[in-house]
Amino acid sequence: MSRPPIYKRVLLKVSGEALMGSRDYGLDIGVLRRIAEDVRDVVNLGVQVCMVIGGGNIFRGVAGASAGMDRAQADGMGMLATVMNALAMQNWLEKMGVPTRVQSAISMASLAEPFIRRRAIRHMEKGRVVIFAAGTGNPFFTTDTAAALRAAEMGCDALLKGTQVDGIYTADPRKNPKAERYDQLTYLEVLARDLQVMDAAAISLARENKLPIVVFNIHEPGAFTAVMLGDGKFTTVIDP
């Protein structure tokens, strides 16, 4: 008899950069397809899934602002980039038979539903994956903060952060082979040690809502499913 998943409803946060694969910018179709396969497999476990996808593979508001753009204007462009990524992910999920809805915090009725909390919850109850696009709809907030906000609003059991490595380390393990991986941390430890897995606003929001953050490697096929079953390598951020 197969084991039940340890979470019933989760939000998966994927960075825009994760969708680039080996490209310098834009979308790697192979990466999109593989992440969609992983999401499909988790949905097939009976888990309710929603997603937030960043836009850094197309445009980052912070980078635009550092280049001299008005920050609010640059963040607006970044929010639009997340809509493009959400539509791309919706395409691949639906190709695999997973019913999906995109809800945007910025009104664009011909492309996506407006964000309506109760409607989003109902979609998930019916087995649909909901992809939240356009961040919070406001400048000066990252998609990490948007992910924490939406996870709290949806009553998720956990916020999963898919990254380039299999958890939170003392340093970047790709640069420092002696870096050690944490199995579990508290929210305050993440902030005090400046581990930068998510921005401080997102960590604080998760802490206030007692929302566990689970960090794992989004590039490892099957890792999402493994985390749902309590297997594999990952780091959990939670208060004891």
16 marked ligand binding residue: yes
* 97 in a known ligand binding site: no
**75 known member of a binding site:** yes
CA distances (Å), origin 181, targets 14, 176, 198: 20, 12, 16
- Which residue is associated with the tokens 């109850």? 125
140 appears as a binding residue in the annotation? yes
- Tell whether 64 is in a known binding site: no
Residues in contact with 91: Cβ distance below 8 Å, sequence separation at least 6, in sequence order: none
Is 137 one of the annotated binding-site residues? yes
Q: Is 230 within any annotated ligand binding site?
A: no
Answer yes or no: is 178 a known binding residue.
no
- 14 in a known ligand binding site: yes
The answer to the question of whether 136 is labelled as a binding residue is yes
Q: Is 141 annotated as a binding residue?
A: yes
138 known ligand binder:
yes
115 assigned ligand-binding residue: no
54 labelled ligand-binding: no
Tokens of 186: 């508290």
User: What is the dihedral sign for C-alpha 117, 161, 107, 101?
Assistant: negative
Residue partners of 69: CB distance under 8 A and separation at least 6: none
Under DSSP, is residue 52 helix (H, G, I), strand (E, B) or coil?
Answer: strand
Annotated binding-site residue numbers for UMP: 55, 75, 136-143
Binding residues for ATP: 13-16, 56, 60, 163-164, 169, 172
Known binding residues are 13-16, 55-56, 60, 75, 136-143, 163-164, 169, 172
